[in-house]
Amino acid sequence: MAEEVALLVGLKLTGRSAQRAPANVPESIITAEESLEELQALAESAGARVAEKWIQTRPRADAATFIGSGKVEELKAQIEFHEVTTLIVDQELSPTQQRNLERALDVKVLDRTQLILDIFARRARTREGQLQVELAQLNYMLPRLTGKGAAMSRLGGGIGTRGPGETKLETDRRRIHQRIQSIEKDLDRVRGGRTTQRRQRQAVPLATLALVGYTNAGKSTLFNRLTGADVYADARMFATLDPTVRQIRLPSRRQVLVSDTVGFIRNLPTTLVRAFRATLEEVVEAELLLHVVDASSPEAAEQTAHVLATLNEIGAAHTPQILVLNKVDLIADKPDTSALARRILGDPEHQPAGAVGISAFTGEGFDRLLVKIDETLALDQVSPCVFRFPIGEGGPLHLLHEHARVTSTKYDDNECIVEATVPASIRRRLAAYLVEPGE
């Protein structure tokens, strides 16, 4: 396939419509220039050659073309000069804006969301990952079908046309709705299998860790060093998507499970957050998060804040964290780890359980990280619980008597209600019988 040449366009807002920083991110950190640099990394990860980057300054986005008719005229000459095949816009376009830009410039027009979806489509390897990406793509395409006309039938390939883009754009709304429903049913079955796998892991009293962080922070490299696995690691963004779980042994000889997860990114499309709910459950269920940060990046503080915001969105904000300051070998002055963590975090409300400076590439600080995990990860803590067992299921009741301190047992016609002080590992194994407070 011929090389895809891309021209990138960003929008810098002025006045009251200026871009606002997310909570706990200094507003001065976020700039249109930095966002466009990240867009370039995304475009190159998708296989494009970036010929030019442009930033348009306006008080607000133009309703018709996003960047305004004057900038559209300027872009025509640049597109012809560089023989550009694709225009990529650094924000999400409305269907009307995308259609108008394609008509005016006579090239394929993608927005940031479509670019990220395309990268996910390239990277997904498992059946679950492929289904999740296709579901996100179809949900994104659905409101954009009206009026696309001939553009719907293009099968030319390249960025933005992989996955369902090659086979579904020419279908009508009814068939796309049917496909979405079919994917959701398939995902429910896959999620059922993942839930079964998680319960099987929880049946063994092993604590679970999850690696989280901004994309390209070095999570997969660290995962490989921790576990001796051979997970694909690459400098490109979103190099790995599908979660992998491995067992490791800590200095105390305890064994724990470690899960590598998808990287986060600024403005991660909500369709992807929803689609990857099952994958992100690995993060929610973990007892400790290793928050991997590229400490050498000038945008480390902003990237960390976006990861924290995403963790809050998926319900994992209060899970204990260790801040893993990766790539310290690339920092010239070798700053104090605590000072570096304070500079990156800023907000005292999000101070982690600890911070460790490492290089996943060279192995520097690796032993310190294992010790910190050992110190931070709680032992098999006990807590008072109430269980309701059906009469006739003696196995779970025997397990409780064998590994917990039973304080009360009551019987009725069909159930046995037991109060006990239970280790966390046994509580996980008997979660199906647990009576939640207030029931």
Burial label for 380, CB within 10 Å (0-12, 13-18, 19+), is middle
Residue with tokens 């994104």: 140
Residue 218: per-residue pLDDT: 87
**Where would I find the H helices in 11-111?**
32-45, 69-82, 95-105
Q: Are 376 and 320 in contact (CB under 8 A)?
A: yes
- Residue 324 falls within a domain, yes or no? yes
Distances (CA, A) of 126 to 132, 140, 154, 244, 307: 10, 21, 27, 11, 24
170 beta partners: none
Residue 26: per-residue pLDDT: 39
274 shares a domain with 234: yes
254 shares a domain with 358: yes
Q: List Cβ neighbours of 432 (8 Å cut-off, separation of 6 or more).
A: none
CA atoms of 249 and 370, how far apart (whole Å): 9
Tokens read off for 227: 């576990």
212 shares a domain with 277: yes
- Residue 194 falls within a domain, yes or no? no
403 shares a domain with 272: no
Residues of the chain with confidence (pLDDT) below 50: 19, 21-29, 147-156, 166-169, 233-235, 239
372 shares a domain with 386: no
Residue 205: per-residue pLDDT: 58
CATH number at residue 369: 3.40.50.300
CA atoms of 229 and 260, how far apart (whole Å): 11
Q: How many alpha carbons lie under 13 Å from residue 437 in its C-beta half-sphere?
A: 1
Enclosing domain of residue 402: 382-433
Determine the Cα angle at 243 with ends 432 and 264, to 5°.
110
Distances (CA, A) of 77 to 51, 52, 109, 404: 13, 12, 16, 75
| 97, 117, 137 - which closes a domain | 117
CA atoms of 128 and 124, how far apart (whole Å): 8
299 shares a domain with 151: no
| 117, 144, 169 - which closes a domain | 117
Q: List Cβ neighbours of 258 (8 Å cut-off, separation of 6 or more).
A: 208, 209, 210, 211, 223, 226, 227, 245, 246, 247, 248
427 shares a domain with 288: no
* Element at 401 (helix H, strand E): helix 394-403
Amino acid type, 69: S
Q: How many independent structural domains does the chain possess?
A: 4
- Residue 438 falls within a domain, yes or no? no
Q: Are 281 and 203 in contact (CB under 8 A)?
A: no
Backbone angles phi and psi of 99, in degrees to 5: -65, -45
86 shares a domain with 24: yes
**Beta strands 86-89; 321-326: pairing state:** unpaired
177 shares a domain with 216: no
| 117, 134, 166 - which closes a domain | 117
Residue 24: per-residue pLDDT: 40
- Residue 198 falls within a domain, yes or no? no
CA atoms of 360 and 380, how far apart (whole Å): 29
361 shares a domain with 306: yes
Residue 160: per-residue pLDDT: 65
Note the pTM of the prediction, 2 decimals. 0.68
Residue 409: per-residue pLDDT: 92
- Residue 322 falls within a domain, yes or no? yes
CA atoms of 324 and 395, how far apart (whole Å): 42
